[in-house]
Amino acid sequence: GKLAGLDLDQLREGARVEKNQEKKNPTDFALWKLTPTGVRRQMEWDSPWGKGFPGWHIECTAMGVKYLGRQIDIHTGGMDHIPVHHTNEIAQSEGAFGADVVRFWLHNEFVMVDGEKMSKSKGNFYTLDDIVKRGLNPLAVRYFFLQAHYRTPMNFTWEGVEAGQSGYDRLLDKIGELQAKTKNLKIKTKNHNLKLKTEKAQELSKAFLVAINDDLNTAKGLAILWDLLRDQKITDEDKLALALDFDQVLGLKLDQVKAPAAVEIPAEVQRLVSAREQARQNKDFARSDDLRLQIQAAGFEVKDTPAGQVVREA
């Protein structure tokens, strides 16, 4: 019980489950479950103890050993697995292979959906397909999750994820701008050996490392990324290099962003944009929306930014 800090004397047998005659100790758990005689299971295997199937704790250990070896650096999981499942994984792995089978355990808090616990019976959970069907980028969901620490409960709402999408879009725009300004600077970030020229960039580089090393404070990491991108003094080269370096941790695929190709905006579209500017000044939003649709029909999209309308190819 070292992971969960359990006191075995406190674990009262029969508190929740009926006393199991096959258990010598109330905290015993099954490594192998035998198929009862006369029964054929869909999934069953031969073993020295008879036909059956592995207990679910041993499944995890077996997979871990096969794919990751006898020692796992970081084992993740939901916090609900601390008292039983992961405690049992430790018991059986250390019994088989010795101490410190897992070097670090990271347990995340639950994701709630619209303030409620996700459950199959309620049907209140979404898959990545649902996200895509809604026109959202799965990476926007990652951006959304990175905004909170993994050990704080997260509430999944469509509004939240849509806000994540617009934040992520702004980030991609910013990176695209930097790629344009630096002419798609080729930066090798894999070695983390950046030669940053601006002192402020060096500071932010250290601050990011401190935040991530502080139990994966991704929320702070994202904030530092934005500090970097908004900074007035840091050179574009440093900004881009460092943003891509941070992304080795964040995993937002910023390295795949290219500078937007320079596009000629046809005179006709330009005319619609100017008319829309006029309509907005007159607070004629119906006309402004109508013009937006005409611009879209011409194959362009218009965005309203604090600096005015931005037009680009749709």
Contact residues: Zn ion, CB under 5 A: 60
- For the CB of residue 2, give the shortest distance to Zn ion in the complex, in Å: 17
Residue closer to Zn ion by CB (options 88, 182) is 88
Q: Are 131 and 139 in contact (CB under 8 A)?
A: no
Q: Are 118 and 125 in contact (CB under 8 A)?
A: yes
Residue 57 backbone phi and psi in degrees, to 5: -70, -40
Residue closer to Zn ion by CB (options 61, 288) is 61
- For the CB of residue 56, give the shortest distance to Zn ion in the complex, in Å: 7
- For the CB of residue 22, give the shortest distance to Zn ion in the complex, in Å: 23
- For the CB of residue 206, give the shortest distance to Zn ion in the complex, in Å: 36
Residue closer to Zn ion by CB (options 87, 182) is 87
Question: Closest residue to Zn ion, Cβ-based?
Answer: 60
CA–CA dist 49, 222 (Å, integer): 53
Residue closer to Zn ion by CB (options 53, 300) is 53
- For the CB of residue 113, give the shortest distance to Zn ion in the complex, in Å: 23
What pairs with residue 240 in β-bridges? none
The token duo for 228 is 């970097």
Give the ranges where the chain is alpha helix by DSSP (H): 56-68, 87-97, 128-133, 138-146, 158-181, 199-213, 218-230, 236-250, 267-281, 285-297
Residue closer to Zn ion by CB (options 88, 205) is 88
